[in-house]
Structure 1
Amino acid sequence: MRVEKVNENTLRVSMTREDLSQRGLKILDLLGNRERVLEFFLSILHEVDEDNDFASDAPVTFQVMPNDGGIDLLITKMNKDNDMPEEMRRFFEPEANGVGGEADEDEAA
């Protein structure tokens, strides 16, 4: 596995088929079990984020691209104020996902 810091908000993790196999995965597994995929992504993030730069409260996105029999992962830390497109900002806002907002305030009253 090779890790490259693209910029302060993005890491590129290049994994071979052997790297995936050592973690008990095949490329096609990334299309299947959602919980297993999430567990895999989080384990990679914890492994490569040695300085805990990406362990903040900001959302993190993963992009997966095939490469020579393996995969490249682009792990991007989103800055909710500046970098995030409006559609993604709404997605990550608690009110947009049924958490917080007026409905919860009404229930609490």
Structure 2
Amino acid sequence: MRIEKVNENQIRCTLTREDLASRHIKLSELAYGSDNAKSLFRDMMHQAAVEHGFEADDIPLMIEAIPLSSETIMLIITKVESPEELDTRFSNFTDASGEDDSEETAYDGDNPFEQDRSKEILELFEQIRREKEKSAAPKKESSSDASDSSPSGKQLTKMFSFQELDTAFHLAGLLKDFYTGDNALYKNPKTNLYYLVIRQGAHSLSEFHKIYNTVSEYTRSENYTPGLEAFYKEHCKIILAEKALQKLSDI
């Protein structure tokens, strides 16, 4: 099990077939969150804390699982600023090779990374994450609008990247007459990538989740920080500084 620190809020953990075998874990039991599987996750977080100072006690985590090969999988573990962000998109599974290897490798009952590995590993870590969030969350009185409000009162902001300006026009058409929040569009002249920053505005949390999911179907979700947007404002081309999608929908 190899752990790398990406930054203060993110680590990468690479698991191999041998890592699971040494703990007597099969993929079939991962989906049910066995004691061995939970122990693996605890060991992973402990090792990250000891080796890299990555402390995640009482902090919600987002976990992305990326199969690298038939015997290796990478977990990207990220601390999130607010718990409600976890519900927008908990995990993405991407085949790093971009190819379907289901026909290249015969099924091996002892291979913990068989064809259905992505779906089952997602179920495991979603279960563990939800249990962790539930145990860490402070008890408070329920309210009728709890599902549509941010506990911290903060407005959510999301950022996405894509290659073609036509994508922005397409999104503008899809979200016309629905999304009213502020948003901005930038272009990085070095990479020729476009960056769209959207803000929650007056939308409820559930509405913003729908907006997020719509945009993410056609783009790549990026980690947003105010400092990063400030960098784009200074060093990238500002296509539309405000109400970008609304303005594009009128063209």
Query: Normalising by structure 1, what TM-score?
Result: 0.63
Output the CA distance in 2 between the equivalents of 1:53 and 1:37: 20
**1:62-81 paired onto structure 2 within 5 Å:** 62-68=63-69, 69-80=71-82
- 1:56 corresponds to: 57
- Return closer, same or farther for 1:86/1:55 CA change in 2, 3 Å cut-off: closer
Post-superposition offset of 1:9: 0.8
Distance 2:82 2:35 in 1: 25
Does residue 41 of the first structure (1) align with residue 81 of the second (2)?
no
Asked whether the equivalents of residues 11 and 74 of structure 1 are also in contact (C-alpha less than 8 Å), the reply is yes
Alignment of 1:14-25 (within 5 A): 14-25=14-25
Contact 1:64–1:71 (8 Å) recurs in 2 = yes
Distance, in Å, in 2 between the alignment partners of 1:13 and 1:75 is 8
Structure (1/2) with the larger strand percentage: 1
The match for 2:215 is: none
Provide the alpha-carbon RMSD of the alignment.
3.1
Contact 2:48 2:54 in 1 (8 A): no
- The structure, 1 or 2, with the larger RCO (C-alpha pairs under 8 Å, 6+ apart) is 1
Q: Is the 8 A contact 1:15 1:70 kept in 2?
A: yes
Task: Give the % identical residues.
Answer: 29
**Corresponding residue for residue 2 of structure 2:** 2
Q: Work out whether residues 27 and 70 of structure 1, in 8 Å CA contact, stay in contact via their aligned partners in 2.
A: no
Give the letter for the 1:3 counterpart: I
Structure 2 spans left out of the alignment, 5+ residues: 89-129, 144-251
* Cα deviations by residue, 1:44-102 (Å, 9 ceiling, x for unpaired): 11122215432332212333232221221111112228xx62846xx85858xxx4215
- Which residue matches 1:12? 12
Between the two proteins, the alignment pairs up a number of residues equal to: 96
2:141 maps to which residue? 101
Q: Structure 1: which 5+ runs fail to align?
A: 104-109
Q: Secondary structure at the match of 2:42?
A: helix
Structure 2-normalised TM-score? 0.32
Q: Which residue is 1:106 aligned to?
A: none
Q: Would the aligned equivalents of 1:17 and 1:26 in 2 still touch at CA under 8 Å?
A: no
